Every structure is written in structure tokens, then in C-alpha cells.
Structure 1
Amino acid sequence: MFDVNDYFDGKVKSLAFTAEGGKATVGVMAAGEYEFGTNCIEHMTLISGQMAVKLPGEDAFRDIAVNETFIVEANVKFQVRIGEDSAYLCLYK
């Protein structure tokens, strides 16, 4: 079945499910800036909208293109800047 996740007063929502190869979420983020923490490696793909990401060790945000995937290491915090309401897919490894 699906689990519903709700973060940042409803500005970020996702549905968790089991995909081929493991856990996954598909979600939406309202325009704004957010910081997330990871428990495992995450492969995040922007499906639609505008996103910039700042990963640990990076000095500045970098733009993510629609259909681009970036990888976040386990047990770190990272920041995203959402320019317009956006959708994403996240695969957990």
C-alpha cells in the first residue's frame, strides 16, 4: 500500500511505495527553500518544475533540469530551492 508523507506545513507531500529494486517516493513541492536529511543514498529526479540543489561540500546552488537525476549520499543534509510548484521521483538505495 501507499504511505503519505507531509512536510513543511503541507508544502511538500509525497507518496511512498515499493518500486522495482526498493523503496521510492513520488511527490510535489511548492515554491520555496527546504532542507532535507537522508538515511540512505537517494537518487532524486526532477519530473516537472524548477529546482536548484545544494549538496554537502558544494558552495552554491546548481540548477537541475527536468528529467535530470542527482544523487545524495546517506546521512547528510541537503538543500533545495524550488522556483515553481514542482514534482519529483526519489529512489532509495
Structure 2
Amino acid sequence: MSKFHNVSVIKKANVYHNGNVTSRTVKFVDGSIKTLGFMLPGEYTFTTTDKELMEIIDGELEVLLPDSEQWQKVKGGESFDVPANAQFQINIKSPTDYCCSYFK
């Protein structure tokens, strides 16, 4: 899906890692939430509360998921899942545009 309809967007940005990772929250009529964001090259650690689906729109990265010892390469057009209540690492190789979906 390249376009969202009938949504509310929170104007204030979510800013992480000294501004190298930013996103905006998108709320849907059914109560679901997504974030649309952008990450600059670098290595970052994130912690989840809910299960997440990270869709990479453009860019290239490597991700080290919980319970894995091997980095996974991910590029534009690909995605990966992150379990709830977990910590994962991302190594951004090129500026990366993403959409993150949250599942309770």
C-alpha cells in the first residue's frame, strides 16, 4: 500500500538517536497505528513493547533480531518482524525510508 486514506497524523515527530532516526505517527479509523520514518546511516538499538512489522520502503540495512546471532540484510521492498517486549539492533547502510506497523 503506497497511500493511506482516512487517517490522523500526529504533527510532533518522534526523534531518536540524536535526530538520526525520526518518524511520524499515523492513526487509522480502526485504532491501528503505524509510523512513517527515516533513518540515517549508523548503528542503533531499539526496544519494542508491541510486535512490529518493519517495511523498508527504500534504503539498505542489516538487522540483528532477538534470539539470533546472525545479521540479516534487508533492502527496499523487503520487511522483517520484531517480537513484542524485545530489543534489536539495526545497522543502517544507506539512508532508509520505512513504515512500522504495531500489533497488540
Letter of the 2:27 partner, please give it: T
Unaligned runs of 5+ in 2: 1-8
TM-aligned CA deviation for residue 69 of structure 1: 1.4
Q: Greater relative contact order: 1 or 2 (C-alpha under 8 angstroms, separation 6 or more)?
A: 1
Please state if 1:57 is matched with 2:67. Answer: yes
2 CA distance for matches of 1:54 and 1:16? Answer: 24
Identity of aligned residues (%): 33
Q: CA RMSD in A?
A: 1.2
1 CA distance for matches of 2:59 and 2:91? Answer: 11
1 CA distance for matches of 2:61 and 2:42? Answer: 10
Q: 1:47 is matched with which residue?
A: 57
Q: 1:7 is matched with which residue?
A: 16
> Which 4+ residue blocks in structure 1 deviate beyond 6 angstroms?
none
TM-aligned CA deviation for residue 63 of structure 1: 0.2
Q: 1:27 is matched with which residue?
A: 37
TM-score, length-scaled by structure 2: 0.84
Deviates more, 1:22-31 or 1:62-71: 62-71
Please state if 1:90 is matched with 2:78. Answer: no
State the SS of the aligned residue for 2:13.
strand
1 CA distance for matches of 2:56 and 2:29? Answer: 19
Unaligned runs of 5+ in 1: none
Q: Is the strand fraction higher in 1 or 2?
A: 1
Aligned residues: 93
TM-aligned CA deviation for residue 65 of structure 1: 2.6
